[in-house]
């Protein structure tokens, strides 16, 4: 037990939660990024098998038998230069996509089919004079930190949870509506990072360290606010699939504003960051509906147009048919 008790000191490592972002650096282990030791095991691999007529050996092993090498080459050639004819029997489609992998496919689809996303006329951040006024406002907002801290902390990575509460749905009851929220998170993040990089506005606490945020001093620029963009895009897309007559729809946009303002109270964003994020979300919603083949207003198309967005929007819309029929 003494040994186990000694491990309690490792609890301090929980403070390294901010390093979870390193998971997004595919191929770069946290040890490499942080300057630690590199672990790079090598096993037996059949590739490459031959380079310019010379057999390449890993760990001194012969790799492929001649007949395997011939088959390997045949398959490789077929993939790079498919031939016509042969068996045309359709193969079954993959059925193991989850919300996370579909969201990544959705972002690439969005970028390809909404080429005007970079043309959004996002105004530059305000002047230094206005920025200093915003800093004063943030000191006034800091008085609300004690009351808002737990909520703001939960919203660091739990925006969807709050929309589920306001909308009256959970994953079990409305899985595709929940997935629509995940798609919105990813599309918004994709767009907002482009503009954050373009404007590269310093965070409030970098200009005025006395703001001293209680958490989440992030490693990307302030303008526009990512949380504001994500929250408002979720709100707008949910309003397209939920019955408009339902009172829950009236809670969505106010909730998005609340999520954005909580970031200001914590000293993480200027007011203008939140406003720009809201405007960016409006444009993102228009583009997303266009990719999905949905009108801005009115009834959705009878059948999805084959895009991830079209499929998920249609499925999410159908999940609310029972309430829609009661209206």
Residue 76 predicted with pLDDT over 80: no
Terminal CA-CA length for the chain? 62
**Reported confidence tier of residue 54, pLDDT bands at 50, 70, 90:** low
Whether cis (ω within 30° of 0) applies to the bond prior to 158 is: no
Domain boundaries, the chain: 99-110+127-326
pLDDT digits (tens, 9 = 90+) for 271-294: 999 999 999 999 999 999 999 999
Higher pLDDT: 72 or 97? It is: 97
179-205 pLDDT per residue, tens: 999 999 999 999 999 999 999 999 999
Band (pLDDT 50/70/90 cuts) for residue 35 is: low
Mention the CATH class of domain 99-110+127-326. Answer: mainly alpha
Rounded (10°) CA dihedral 81, 84, 89, 91: 10
Joined together, the tokens standing for residue 36 give: 């630690």
Using DSSP's 3-state secondary structure scheme, residue 290 falls into helix
pLDDT for 17 equals 39
Query: Does the pLDDT of residue 247 top 70, yes or no?
Result: yes
237-246: per-residue pLDDT in tens? 999 999 987 7
> Residue 65: its pLDDT value, please?
65
């Amino acid at each position: 037990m003494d040994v186990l008790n000694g491990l309690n000191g490792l609890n301090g490592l929980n403070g390294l939660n901010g390093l979870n972002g390193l998971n997004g650096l595919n191929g770069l282990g946290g040890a490499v990024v942080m300057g630690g030791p590199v672990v790079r095991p090598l096993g037996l691999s059949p590739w490459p098998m031959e380079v310019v007529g010379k057999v390449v050996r890993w760990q001194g092993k012969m790799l492929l038998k001649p007949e395997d090498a011939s088959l390997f080459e045949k398959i490789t050639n077929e993939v790079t230069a498919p031939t016509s004819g042969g068996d045309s029997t359709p193969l079954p489609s993959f059925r193991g996509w989850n919300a996370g992998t579909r969201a990544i496919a959705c972002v690439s689809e969005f970028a390809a089919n909404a080429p005007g996303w970079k043309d959004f006329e996002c105004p530059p951040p305000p002047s230094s004079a206005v920025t200093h006024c915003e800093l004063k406002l943030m000191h006034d907002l800091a008085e609300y930190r004690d009351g808002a801290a737990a909520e703001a902390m939960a919203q660091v990575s739990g925006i969807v949870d709050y929309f589920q509460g306001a909308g009256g749905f959970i994953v079990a009851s409305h899985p595709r509506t929940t997935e629509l929220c995940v798609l919105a998170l990813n599309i918004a993040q994709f767009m907002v990072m482009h503009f954050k990089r373009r404007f590269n506005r310093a965070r409030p606490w970098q200009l005025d360290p006395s703001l001293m945020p209680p958490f989440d001093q992030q490693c990307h620029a302030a303008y526009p606010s990512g949380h504001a963009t994500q929250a408002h895009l979720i709100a707008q897309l949910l309003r397209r699939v939920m019955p408009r007559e339902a009172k829950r729809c009236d809670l969505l946009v106010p909730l998005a504003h609340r999520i954005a303002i909580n970031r200001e109270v914590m000293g993480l964003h200027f007011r203008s960051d939140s406003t720009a994020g809201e405007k960016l979300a409006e444009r993102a919603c228009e583009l997303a509906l266009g990719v999905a083949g949905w009108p801005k207003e009115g009834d959705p198309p009878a059948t999805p147009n084959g895009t991830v967005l079209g499929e998920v929007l249609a499925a999410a819309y159908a999940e609310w048919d029972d309430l829609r029929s009661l209206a």
